[in-house]
């Protein structure tokens, strides 16, 4: 039986190891312990872990800016895929966002990650082709 719990910073080492083990998850300095701790503190009750006994098999980072929700790094261990764990994690995030008055959620998927694109489309998410994602570091832009 899979149990889903709110993610805490105490889960960090296990969660980061899962994210690092799965192809298609893009990690950066923003995924270090301190930034994740700040994210969880700023967005309490929105990120989750999925456990099969004592084994972490899934995780999702979720938050909002007061207007739109964002899902990051939803990952399910390959051995536990196609059991509804990813969908359950995504739906849990959406339900809590809705309860907090957030009516739309976004996520980012690498264009080369065909498995993730198929997963998200399969659970009702729509690909936006009318937008570009643009990014910049907050410093002088040299990073």
At 14-38, the pLDDT tens digits run 999 999 999 889 999 999 999 999 9
Q: Count the neighbouring beta carbons within 10 Å of the beta carbon of residue 23.
A: 9
Residue 31 to residue 11: CA distance in whole angstroms = 13
Q: Which residue has the tokens 């910073």?
A: 9
Q: What is the CATH number of the domain that holds 21?
A: 3.40.630.30
Is 138 exposed, middle or buried (CB count within 10 Å of its CB: 0-12, 13-18, 19+)? exposed
Q: b/e for 70-93, b at 16 or more Cβ within 10 A?
A: bbbbbbbbeebeeeebbebbbebb
> Whose CA is closest to 25, among 68, 59, 63?
59
Asked if residue 136 is part of any domain, the answer here is no
Asked if residue 74 is part of any domain, the answer here is yes
Q: Provide the domain count of the chain.
A: 1
User: What is the span of the domain harbouring residue 110?
Assistant: 2-122
Asked if residue 16 is part of any domain, the answer here is yes
Asked if residue 43 is part of any domain, the answer here is yes
Asked if residue 139 is part of any domain, the answer here is no
Q: What confidence tens digit (pLDDT) does each residue in 68-127 have?
A: 999 999 999 999 999 999 999 999 999 999 999 999 999 999 999 999 999 999 999 999
Asked if residue 127 is part of any domain, the answer here is no
pTM of the complete model: 0.91
Asked if residue 140 is part of any domain, the answer here is no
């Amino acid at each position: 039986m899979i149990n889903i719990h709110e993610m805490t910073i105490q889960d960090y080492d296990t969660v980061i190891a899962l994210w690092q083990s799965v192809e298609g998850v893009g990690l950066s300095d923003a995924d270090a312990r301190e930034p994740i701790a700040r994210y969880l503190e700023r967005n309490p009750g929105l990120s989750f872990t999925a456990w099969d006994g004592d084994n972490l098999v899934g995780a999702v980072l979720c938050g909002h800016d007061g207007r739109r929700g964002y899902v990051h790094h939803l990952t399910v261990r390959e051995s536990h895929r196609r059991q509804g764990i990813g969908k359950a994690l995504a739906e849990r995030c959406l339900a809590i966002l809705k309860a907090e008055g957030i009516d739309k959620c976004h996520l980012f998927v690498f264009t080369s990650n065909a498995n993730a694109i198929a997963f998200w489309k399969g659970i009702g998410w729509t690909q936006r082709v009318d937008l570009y994602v643009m990014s910049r570091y907050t410093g002088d832009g040299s990073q």
